[in-house]
Structure 1
Amino acid sequence: MIAKAFEDFLLSHLDNYLIPAEDLAIFIDTHNADHVKLLLMSNGYSRVPVLTKDKKYVGTISISDILSYQAQNQLNDWEVDPTDIREMVNTKIETINEAADLTEIMHKLVDFPFLPVVNDDNVFQGIITRKSILKAVNSLLHDFTNYYDIVPKHDADKD
């Protein structure tokens, strides 16, 4: 459990920690591999969320996911290129519910550079990045004493 003062401070510095879906590059699960490879390479994205047409979260996709699928299925470029990416989607990145608390977010971000955020109906809301949380933690480490006094517990017991 995160100490209440720390949690309050971090949350006050996380006003914009959720990058909303409409501000992100996304792919639809029926996009073909050729289209996705072209966009990933030309825009420099390493991994992008994949949704259904009704905005339900499916997983993520990267060039390495496409190449892995191609190798596992022993396909040539001309065979993999027209294939829908739903066949290649990576589902290893855990999602987080939009109502998740800071403790859960921080535990899951240890293993992933970002977390896809979904609502109770699995509709994609956006992502929380490790970078946004680390920026808030950096503020905590540098600015916390501007707002709070830190008193060792054994000294507080003497009062």
Structure 2
Amino acid sequence: MLNKTVEDMLMVNREHYVIPASMVATVQADNSLTHAFLVLTKVRYARIPVLDGDQFVGLISLPMVTETMLGLDSLKIEQLDDMCVRDVMDTEVTTVANPYALEDVMHMLVNDPFLPVVASTGEFTGIVTRREWMKSLNYICHDLSKDYDVTPKVTAHATGKVE
């Protein structure tokens, strides 16, 4: 369970955690892999959301695209035009709803740089990023004593022993 003081400080920046869908690079499930390759290369993100209309259906990464190009002794780029994003995307993706539990998202962001935010209707509404959470953690680390009286319950000496 989150410390109440820390949770309150995290809540100050809650609206900044979700980057709206309109600001997130995405591809459609029926786009060609050529298109996905170009988008991923241009935006320089490791993975981006895949949509079917406005519905979230998965994620795609550059390695997923390039894997389809690999032959035994050469690259086969022409295959990218013959396949679509749906053929290679990852559909086993952890998502969150909005509003979400701060503590749950904090735990999930340990393993993922971002989490897609999906409405109960399946509509993609944005992403929660580890970067934004780290900004809030930075805020807490620097401003905790400005807003709160912080005194340790115990002290540890250089010996590592607690008194």
- TM-score, length-scaled by structure 2: 0.83
List runs of 5+ in structure 1 lacking aligned partners.
Answer: 155-159
> How far 1:88 moved relative to its partner?
0.9
> How far 1:81 moved relative to its partner?
2.3
Match for 1:96: what amino acid? V
The separation in 2 between residues aligned to 1:36 and 1:93, in whole angstroms, is 18
1:8-157 → structure 2 map (5 Å cutoff): 8-53=8-53, 55-71=54-70, 76-152=76-152
Q: Is the 8 A contact 2:68 2:79 kept in 1?
A: no
Match for 1:63: what amino acid? L
CA separation of 1:12/1:84 partners in 2, compared to 1, >3 Å: closer, same or farther? same
> How far 1:115 moved relative to its partner?
0.5
The separation in 1 between residues aligned to 2:52 and 2:109, in whole angstroms, is 24
The separation in 2 between residues aligned to 1:79 and 1:15, in whole angstroms, is 42
Question: In structure 1, the residue corresponding to 2:99 is in which secondary structure?
Answer: coil
* Higher helix fraction (1 or 2): 1
The separation in 1 between residues aligned to 2:135 and 2:127, in whole angstroms, is 15
Match for 2:67: what amino acid? S
Q: Is the 8 A contact 2:50 2:58 kept in 1?
A: yes
- TM-score, length-scaled by structure 1: 0.85
List runs of 5+ in structure 2 lacking aligned partners.
Answer: 155-163
Match for 1:18: what amino acid? V
1:90-135 Cα offsets, whole Å, 9 max, x none, are 2344111112110010010000000101111221110011010011
